[in-house]
């Protein structure tokens, strides 16, 4: 019963947010949901409920290995959300807060789904509640990004439904015909009709791969992450993509059991390396620091796929990397969001010298960039090392060489852009000069509102603790996970691998 | 019973060609609406015994795909004051040819697929595959947002047709959930179309070009 609360609480709070009267106090529901969700997750992490193979919802070892990696970033982001919405009082936040809470609920529901159809329903729901979050800024560019997200994401979700039907049809002739729970499908895997299983893997890899953002189905990502608030980027890059990855892990278990282990390994590894290559190329070229984060996310989805293709040791490393990626991405998106708000521009020719304009956020972005590109004391270094080790042990020398080359490309691309915008003499976009040339307090004439308070550098986005501390905490967690990975967590990942592959 | 179902699938295939070959946006919307109504009737014929959830799914499909969504799209069309797809990325004749050859190809392919004995005489599988292809052609080959939404609807119809093969096995509550999700999806798309129309003063997605590398 405890695990049902895990998605019911955020969904009920989402309803409450819809009817909550005050724009000022509504954002406080976010930390409330974050705290309740994390507390419940901790309890379930250390005292997992008894397995219930027949039910459609369950907190199995795989769920247990990833739910905390979503709950913790949401908790940190929820405090950022309160500060962010206080600084952006010009936008109504009713739909925003409700959608964000519903997103947490639906992500948790997808992770707990033990049924192919239910998983799809929850995932589609999560895709749809994301839409109002993407166009929160209400600009023409935001609507353009939302449209592209809907068309590409909608087609991806439609394809994953088709793949689920294929998999369902392959089981239609078996003894347990209509039972589409994952446990039943794995158990009857040898009886599944083979051509349909293979077709299902191809279509589901495309469909859920679109949600993960694997190249070449990644085209929605730069637009969506570029236009959405940084907070939303952090939750999408660290939440929704994880759900799609877990869905593919579950499907892969069935397809492998049906005798296609070689096909899944080859396709997943190829798609992973291709995503890393595409991301590396775009990272070398893009001038926009928020789109850079989207390509970095594509790269890390490639790393996860590559790791997952490498058998039990690789999957354990990939689950570790899910944690590292979600934490490092949180720091990057939040600090980049601060910078974007400080200068109201985001391409390298328009912006430079951010170290002087927003010293703390810029430093956080630089450290976050080193963390996410796997520089030693941070977590991603250790998980990528584990992936490389299992690739070598699996005898994939050429693939490992490509993997390392693409990591280097991504590092060069990201460091180039991050230092281009942070170093040098401060330069602001024309639009920003025009907007700060207004007399103080001129925007909207709300004299006491915090967003009108001018910081010493003339910025409308003061570096308050509320928007600075969350990325600092993200970096701290990432460091902690790298330097002193809790043995309990290693055990949790090992349990998930045993669950997926047998002992 | 099989003949009646095949006749309805045939009608749905006709609607595909209608949507692919027409340059007038209201005709495309109507083709999608006819297809929605036709598909809504099929579940009633597939399940021999009456079940209230089947009836609900059926009525829901007809009401939403046949009436509500087309009405919303027609309203958006009037607001935007456009009636034609003038410069499609893929011409109408090539689209029709692709649609027609996909239909023929799907029938041939379905003959070689490992279907259950009770599905061998039905056109559901070729119908599903041909409708999927038609939807994808509309989705990528047209520039007006309304045509793309219709393409998405037709793509969903193809998947729905395939899903009908599982109607005996899967619990209907899942089908109901899927229908609900699709409805919300189209509503959300409708809202965004409306906002794009207001922001860009156009429903031509060819104008959505500010985001690129």
What is the distance in angstroms between the Cα of B94 and the nearest Cα belonging to chain A?
Answer: 22
Q: Is residue A316 part of a domain?
A: yes
How far is it, in rounded angstroms, from Cα B189 to Cα B146? 10
pLDDT of A460 reads: 66
Say if B213 falls within a structural domain.
no
Residue B22 resides in a domain:
yes
pLDDT digits (tens, 9 = 90+) for A175-186: 666 678 888 888
Contact status of B162 with chain A (Cβ, < 8 Å) = yes
Chain B residues within an 8 Å CB radius of A158 = 152, 155-156, 159
What's the pLDDT score for residue A438? 47
Contact at CB, A135 and B152, closer than 8 angstroms: no
Question: Half-sphere exposure of A405 toward its Cβ, with a 13 Å CA cutoff?
Answer: 12
A37-41, A101-105, A189-193, B13-17: range with lowest mean pLDDT: A189-193
The answer to whether residue B58 sits within a structural domain is: yes
Joined together, the tokens standing for residue B95 give: 């689209």
Average pLDDT of the residues in B78-95: 80
Average pLDDT in the B75-98 region? 82
With vertex at residue B94, the alpha carbon angle to CA B91 and CA B99, rounded to the nearest 5 degrees, is: 120
The pair phi, psi for residue A87, each rounded to 5°, is -80, -15
Verify whether the Cβ–Cβ distance A169 to B165 is below 8 Å.
yes
Q: Which residue has the higher pLDDT, A426 or A221?
A: A221
Interchain contact B195–A (C-beta under 8 A): yes
Q: Which residues pair with A454 in a beta bridge?
A: none
Residue A436 lies inside a defined structural domain of this protein: no
| Domain count across chain B | 1
Name every chain A residue with its beta carbon within 8 A of the beta carbon of B145: 147
Closest in B169, B184, B213 to A177, CB measured: B169
Shortest Cα distance, chain A CAs vs residue B160, angstroms = 8
State the Cα–Cα distance between residues A67 and A440, nearest whole angstrom: 45
Q: How far is B161 from chain A (nearest CA, A)?
A: 10
pLDDT in the model for residue A448: 38
pLDDT above 80: residue A329: yes
Can the peptide bond before residue B28 be classed as cis, meaning omega within 30 degrees of 0? no
Residue B139 near chain A (CB below 8 Å): yes
Q: Mean of the per-residue pLDDT values for chain A?
A: 87
- What residues have CB less than 8 Å from A343, skipping those under 6 apart? A350, A351, A354, A357, A358, A428, A429, A432, A459
Q: Which of B148, B180, B195 sits opposite A143 (nearest CB)?
A: B195
What pLDDT score was predicted for residue A58? Answer: 84
Residue of A374, A333, A364 lying closest to A482 (CA atoms): A374
Q: Which residues of A touch B152 (CB under 8 A)?
A: 151, 154-155, 158
Q: Tell me if chain A has a CB within 8 Å of the CB of B93.
A: no
Supply the pLDDT for residue B180: 64
- Residue range B24-72, pLDDT digits in tens: 889 999 999 999 999 888 888 877 777 777 788 788 888 888 888 888 8
Question: Which band of pLDDT confidence, cut at 50, 70 and 90, is reported for residue A348?
Answer: confident
Contact between residue A411 and residue A373 where contact means Cβ atoms under 8 Å apart: yes
CA A158 to chain B, closest CA, distance in angstroms equals 7
Q: Which conformational region is residue B47 in: left (phi greater than 0), alpha (psi within -120 to 50 degrees), or beta?
A: beta
* Residue A350 Cα, gap to closest chain B Cα (Å): 15
Tell me if B158 sits within 8 A of B131, measured CB to CB.
yes
Selecting from B139, B159, B210 the residue whose C-beta is nearest the C-beta of A141 gives B210
What b/e string do you get for B158-182 counting C-beta neighbours within 10 Å, with b at 16 or more?
A: bbbbbbbbbbebbbbebbebbbebb
Q: For residue A164, what is the nearest residue in chain B, using CA coordinates?
A: B163
What's the per-residue H, E or C state across chain B? CHHHHHHHHHHHHHHHHHHHHCCEHHHHHHHHHHHHHHHHHHHHHHCCCCCHHHHHHHHHHHHHHHHHHHHHHHHHHHHHCCCECCCCCCCHHHHHHHHHHHHHHHHHHHHHCCCCHHHCCCCHHHHHHHHHHHHHHHHHHCCEHHHHHHHHHHHHHHHHHHHHHHCCCCCHHHHHHHHHHHHHHHHHHHHHHHHHHHHHCCCEHHHCCCCCC
Residue A449 lies in a domain: no
Q: Is residue B175 part of a domain?
A: yes
For residue range A216-256, list pLDDT tens digits in order: 888 899 999 988 998 999 999 988 999 999 999 999 999 99
Q: Is B45 exposed, middle or buried (0-12, 13-18, 19+ CB in 10 A)?
A: middle
In this prediction, residue A74 carries a pLDDT of 95
Query: B185 lies in which domain range?
Result: 2-206
Sorting pLDDT into bands at 50, 70 and 90, what band is B13? very high
- Whether the pLDDT of residue A267 is over 60: the answer is yes
SS3 content of chain A, % helix, strand, coil (to 5): 75, 0, 20
Contact A158 B155 (CB under 8 A): yes
Query: Per-residue pLDDT tens for B127-154?
Result: 999 999 999 999 888 888 888 888 888 9
Tell me, what's the pLDDT at A247? Answer: 94
Number of domains present in the structure of chain A? 1
Least reliable range by pLDDT among A74-78, A138-142, A367-371: A138-142
| Contacts A178 to B, Cβ<8 Å | 166, 168-171
Higher pLDDT, A85 or B164: A85
Q: Which of A124, A131, A193 sits opposite B114 (nearest CB)?
A: A193
List of chain A residues whose C-beta atoms are within 8 Å of the C-beta of residue B178: 117, 120-121, 124, 161
A32-41, A151-160, A434-443, B61-70: least confident range: A434-443
Can you give the pLDDT at residue B33?
92
- B122, part of any domain: yes
User: B189-199 pLDDT, tens per residue?
Assistant: 777 776 777 77
- Which helix or strand (DSSP H or E) is residue A20 part of? none
SS3 A352: strand
Alpha-carbon separation of residue B37 from A494, B2, B11, B41, B43 (angstroms):
51, 18, 10, 7, 11
| Residue A15 pLDDT greater than 60, yes or no | yes
Q: Do A131 and B169 touch (CB under 8 A)?
A: no
Q: What is the rounded average pLDDT of the residues A5-13?
A: 92
Q: Which residue has the tokens 């088709």?
A: A162
| Interface contact B120, partner A, CB < 8 A | no
Average pLDDT of the segment spanning A10-31? 91
Distance between A121 CA and the closest CA of chain B, angstroms: 6
Q: Looking at the complex, does the CB of residue B7 fall below 8 Å from at least one CB of chain A? A: no
Q: Would the pLDDT of A450 be above 50?
A: no
Residues of A in contact with B196 (CB under 8 A): 143-144, 147
Q: Give the number of beta-carbon pairs within 8 Å between A and B.
A: 115
Which residues does chain A have within 8 Å of residue B200's beta carbon, measured at their own beta carbons? 140, 143
Confidence of residue A452 (pLDDT cuts 50, 70, 90): very low
DSSP letter string, A307-347:
HHTTHHHHHHHHHHHHHHHHHHHHHHHHHHHHHHHHHS--B
In-domain check, residue B211: no
Q: Does B79 touch chain A (CB under 8 A)?
A: no
A307 to chain B, minimum CA–CA distance in Å?
29
Residue A444 has pLDDT above 60, yes or no: no
* The pLDDT of residue A451: 40
Note the ipTM here: 0.89
Q: Assess contact for B43 and B58: CB atoms under 8 A.
A: yes
Distance CA B116, CA A157 (A): 26
**Residues in chain A, total:** 503
Which residues, other chains included, contact B132 with Cβ-Cβ below 8 Å and sequence gap of 6+? A162, B155, B158, B159
Min distance B3 CA to chain A CA atoms (Å):
22
Smallest CA-to-CA distance from A110 within A218, A211, A233 is with A211
pLDDT given for residue A428 in this prediction: 60
- Which band of pLDDT confidence, cut at 50, 70 and 90, is reported for residue A454? very low
**Cα end-to-end distance, chain B, whole Å:** 55
For residue A40, what pLDDT band results from cuts at 50, 70 and 90?
Answer: very high
Chain A residues with CB-CB distance to B177 below 8 A: 117-118, 121
């Amino acid at each position: 019963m405890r695990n049902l609360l895990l998605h019911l609480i955020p969904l009920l709070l989402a309803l409450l947010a819809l009817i909550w009267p005050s724009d000022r106090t509504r954002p406080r529901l976010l930390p409330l949901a974050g705290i309740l969700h994390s507390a419940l997750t901790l309890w379930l992490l250390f005292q997992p409920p008894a397995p219930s193979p027949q039910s459609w919802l369950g907190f199995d070892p795989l769920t247990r290995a990833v739910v905390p990696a979503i709950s913790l970033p949401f908790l940190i982001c929820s405090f950022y959300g309160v500060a962010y919405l206080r600084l952006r009082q010009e936008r109504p936040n009713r739909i925003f807060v409700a959608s964000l809470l519903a997103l947490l609920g639906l992500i948790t529901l997808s992770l707990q789904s033990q049924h192919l159809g239910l998983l799809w329903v929850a995932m589609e729901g999560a895709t749809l509640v994301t839409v109002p979050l993407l166009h929160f800024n209400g600009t023409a560019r935001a609507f353009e990004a939302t449209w592209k997200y809907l068309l590409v994401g909608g087609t991806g979700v439609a394809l994953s439904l088709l793949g689920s039907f294929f998999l369902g049809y392959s089981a239609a002739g078996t003894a347990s015909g209509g039972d589409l729970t994952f446990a039943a499908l794995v158990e009857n895997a040898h009886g599944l009709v083979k051509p349909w299983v293979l077709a299902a893997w191809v279509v589901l890899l495309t469909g859920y791969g679109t949600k993960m953002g694997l190249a070449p189905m990644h085209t929605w990502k730069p637009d969506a992450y570029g236009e959405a608030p940084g907070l939303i980027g952090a939750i999408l890059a660290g939440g929704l993509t994880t759900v799609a990855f877990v869905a593919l892990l579950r499907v892969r278990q069935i397809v492998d059991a049906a005798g296609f282990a070689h096909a899944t390994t080859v396709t997943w590894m190829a798609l992973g390396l291709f995503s890393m290559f595409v991301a590396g190329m775009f990272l070398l070229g893009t001038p926009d620091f928020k789109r850079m984060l989207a390509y970095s996310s594509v790269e890390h989805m490639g790393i996860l796929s590559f790791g997952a293709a490498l058998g039990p040791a690789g999957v354990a490393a990939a689950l570790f990397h899910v944690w590292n990626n979600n934490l490092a991405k949180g720091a990057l998106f939040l600090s980049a969001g601060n910078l974007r708000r400080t200068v109201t521009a985001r391409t390298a020719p328009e912006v430079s010298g951010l170290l002087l304009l927003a010293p703390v956020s810029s430093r956080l972005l630089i450290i976050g960039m080193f963390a996410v590109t796997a520089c030693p004391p941070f977590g991603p270094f250790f998980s990528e090392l584990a992936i490389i080790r299992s690739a070598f042990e699996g005898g994939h020398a050429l693939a490992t060489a490509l993997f390392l080359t693409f990591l280097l490309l991504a590092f060069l691309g990201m460091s180039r852009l991050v230092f281009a915008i942070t170093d040098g003499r401060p330069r602001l976009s024309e639009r920003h000069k025009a907007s700060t040339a207004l007399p103080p307090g001129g925007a909207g004439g709300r004299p006491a509102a915090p967003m009108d308070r001018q910081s010493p550098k003339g910025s409308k986005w003061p570096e308050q603790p509320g928007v600075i501390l969350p990325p600092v905490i993200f970096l701290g967690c990432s460091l902690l996970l790298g330097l002193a990975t809790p043995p309990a967590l290693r055990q949790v990942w090992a349990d998930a691998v045993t669950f997926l592959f047998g002992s | 019973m099989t003949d009646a179902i095949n006749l309805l699938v045939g009608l749905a295939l006709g609607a595909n060609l209608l949507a692919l070959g027409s340059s007038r946006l209201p005709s495309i919307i109507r083709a999608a609406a006819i297809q929605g109504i036709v598909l809504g009737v099929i579940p009633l014929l597939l399940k021999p015994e009456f079940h209230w959830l089947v009836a609900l799914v059926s009525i829901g499909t007809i009401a939403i795909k046949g009436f509500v969504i087309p009405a919303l799209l027609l309203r958006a069309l009037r607001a935007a004051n456009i009636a034609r797809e003038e410069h499609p990325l893929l011409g109408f004749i090539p689209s029709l040819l692709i649609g027609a050859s996909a239909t023929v190809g799907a029938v041939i392919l379905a003959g070689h697929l490992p279907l259950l004995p009770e599905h061998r005489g039905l056109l559901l599988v070729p119908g599903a595959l041909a409708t999927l292809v038609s939807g994808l052609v509309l989705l990528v080959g047209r520039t007006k947002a309304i045509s793309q939404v219709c393409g998405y609807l037709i793509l969903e119809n193809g998947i729905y047709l395939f899903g009908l093969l599982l109607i005996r096995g899967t619990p209907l509550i899942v089908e109901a959930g899927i229908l609900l999700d699709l409805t919300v999806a189209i509503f959300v798309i409708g809202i965004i179309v409306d906002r794009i129309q207001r922001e860009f003063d156009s429903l031509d997605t060819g104008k959505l070009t500010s985001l690129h590398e």
